[in-house]
Structure 1
Amino acid sequence: MSSVKIESVVLDSTRCGESPVWEEKSNSLLYVDIPSKKIFRWNSLTKQVQDFTVDSTVSSVAIRQSGGYVATVGTRFCALNWEDRSSSDLCSVDKDKKNNRFNDGKIDPAGRYFAGTMAEEIAPAVLERHQGALYVLFPSGNVEKYVDHVDISNGLDWSMDHKIFYYIDSLSYSVDAFDYDLHTGKIANRRSVYKMEKEEHIPDGMCIDTEGKLWVACYNGGRVIRLDPETGTRLQTVKLPTEKTTSCCFGGKDYSELYVTSARDGLDPDKLSRQPEAGRIFKITGLGVKGVAPHAFAG
């Protein structure tokens, strides 16, 4: 086993970094800072960071097949033009819930945008329960609600054979699976494939590797864990130098690097002094596994 190495690659801290996405064509990592209303693009070759400020909390970002990006902003799906820093609304959700916002989102293998909502937090992970939902934006522009009464809609990915959709509702402390129909995008038959251990705390963002194993960022747990969804067992734990690890994705030229986002918000001054790297973006190498390229929104 090669030795695992962890380094922070972006020294500017995010308040709540999320939604890392590797963009192959620019050798860059996209990510967001939810409360700062900013989307970032870190170029792995030049080490330069560009940013794009939007008008509300921004919780996920993804690549668009026709160019530019898509993102979840407030309770809206938006299209982004990076060159002129403009955005346009594709559609909005949860119109009856003024206190809601989108959280994590990801594009499925057929180019649909899966993203879920949650109530605004009073403090990190403290919020009105069951106010969120999981939505799917189809390339046609239609949006459908797939799951209701969600607490914190979070990590999502698809199995290598595209027959299973994995999903996290954080306060259930579980990683769940659904049967998934690639052609229609429909999901069914929800079940738990992994229950969090006490010291792993809250399951947050998630991604899959080419061996079909899941990598889950553990909020308040200061780690990412590798799970086997077929056996419900944890295979590996990688601890990070800050406790509020939020999400992860594979990237780099051969998708062998795991990028992990983190947060500063919610850490008191004492913890911040002991976790100077809180809120940074980390790169983990030497894991011996690879991930898959992200899918792009087809609309």
Structure 2
Amino acid sequence: MAVEVVVRNCGKLLEGPHWDSASDTLLFVDISGRAVHRYDPNTGKNKTVQLGENVGAVVPTKDGRLLIAGRHTFSYLDWESGKLEPIAAVEPDKPNNRFNDGKCDPMGRFWAGTMGPEERPAEVLLHQGTLYCLHTDLTVKPHFDQISISNGMAWSLDHKTLYYIDTLLEYVDALDYDKETGEIKNRRHIIHAPVEEGLLDGMCIDAEGMLWIAMFQKSRVNRYNPNTGEKLQTIMFPATNITSCCFGGPNYDVLYVTASAEGLTDGELKEQPLAGSVFKVTGLGVRGLPANVFG
């Protein structure tokens, strides 16, 4: 197994990596840097589109466009011009909230959740967020609220379960998921991650049905069995605040991992010169699956 940096010091709060199989590139966002990135491992180039707002997540669409969860708004993004085409806004009564992380489900709906105002990384006004689903007909449905930091999502291999993270709970939750309607119910805890492991952040699933979870504040990604709650593996990184991960590459055998430099002191940045970078992990002996797209 090897851990390498692939995009060095490219942002403040990197999040939401998504392997775009149509272009063989890695999409990711810089939330506080207000940017969407596209890294091409074949050329080593990282291209960026600057936006006029925070951006919590980006996903491709079946028609070739990009879709973002911005600060408060779902929008299409034209990569060439950088222009946004708003679709739907949420939470006009909570102007200090913002979207944080999102992902498409097996039927092409886009799920994204919000969080309250943040004084420092992971220090937020509690229970201000809501989980939303943008359906393919562009209608938006809220599902549950009282979320502190809406974060990682993944769907089980049989498409019957949504795995979900609210970062400050110390638990990964599971919900019964109806693929045809997008309805979710029966929320329960399935994995406990004590604070010594870090704060649960972004998440993906591998071809064996195991969950890979970025552990904020503790320099690691952990692999868990969602059926037993057992921690199976830990990978360490040269940055404290690991934010998310996804599988990519032509064979989906590369784990791409994002990290944040947000809120670090000058001294901490000197100790962590690769904070705010993107890493890759190879030689894991396990593969991921193609990511879902919108539409």
Length-normalised TM-score, structure 2: 0.98
Instruction: Identify the residue that residue 224 of structure 1 maps to in structure 2.
Output: 221
CA distance in 1, matches of 2:20, 2:268: 33
Tell me whether 1:84 sits opposite 2:81 in the alignment: yes
SS of aligned partner of 1:271: helix
Tell me whether 1:278 sits opposite 2:275 in the alignment: yes
Tell me whether 1:129 sits opposite 2:126 in the alignment: yes
Aligned partner of 1:97 among 94, 97, 107: 94
Task: Give 4+ residue runs of structure 1 displaced > 3 Å after superposition.
Answer: none
Indicate conservation of the 8 Å contact 1:13/1:277, yes or no.
no
Tell me whether 1:149 sits opposite 2:143 in the alignment: no
Give 2:44's aligned amino acid: K
SS of aligned partner of 1:58: coil
Indicate conservation of the 8 Å contact 1:21/1:31, yes or no.
yes
Indicate conservation of the 8 Å contact 1:207/1:214, yes or no.
yes
Kindly state the Cα deviation for residue 48 of structure 1 after the two structures are TM-superposed: 1.0
Indicate conservation of the 8 Å contact 2:176/2:184, yes or no.
yes
Instruction: Identify the residue that residue 200 of structure 2 maps to in structure 1.
Output: 203
Aligned partner of 1:243 among 240, 243, 253: 240
SS of aligned partner of 2:22: helix
Kindly state the Cα deviation for residue 258 of structure 1 after the two structures are TM-superposed: 0.2
Give 2:54's aligned amino acid: T
CA distance in 2, matches of 1:290, 1:137: 28
SS of aligned partner of 2:58: strand
CA distance in 1, matches of 2:280, 2:180: 34
Q: CA RMSD in A?
A: 0.8
Deviations 1:61-103 (A, max 9, x none): 0011111110011110011111222210110111111111000
Indicate conservation of the 8 Å contact 2:9/2:275, yes or no.
no
Indicate conservation of the 8 Å contact 2:9/2:274, yes or no.
no
Instruction: Identify the residue that residue 37 of structure 1 maps to in structure 2.
Output: 34
Aligned partner of 2:61 among 56, 64, 84: 64
Give 1:159's aligned amino acid: S
Give 1:142's aligned amino acid: T
Indicate conservation of the 8 Å contact 2:170/2:195, yes or no.
no
Instruction: Identify the residue that residue 181 of structure 2 maps to in structure 1.
Output: 184
CA distance in 2, matches of 1:55, 1:91: 17
SS of aligned partner of 1:236: strand
Structure 2 residue runs without a partner (length 5+): none
Give 2:141's aligned amino acid: E
Kindly state the Cα deviation for residue 144 of structure 1 after the two structures are TM-superposed: 0.6
CA distance in 2, matches of 1:162, 1:65: 20
Give 1:266's aligned amino acid: G
Kindly state the Cα deviation for residue 161 of structure 1 after the two structures are TM-superposed: 0.5
Tell me whether 1:48 sits opposite 2:45 in the alignment: yes
Identity of aligned residues (%): 43
Aligned residues: 295
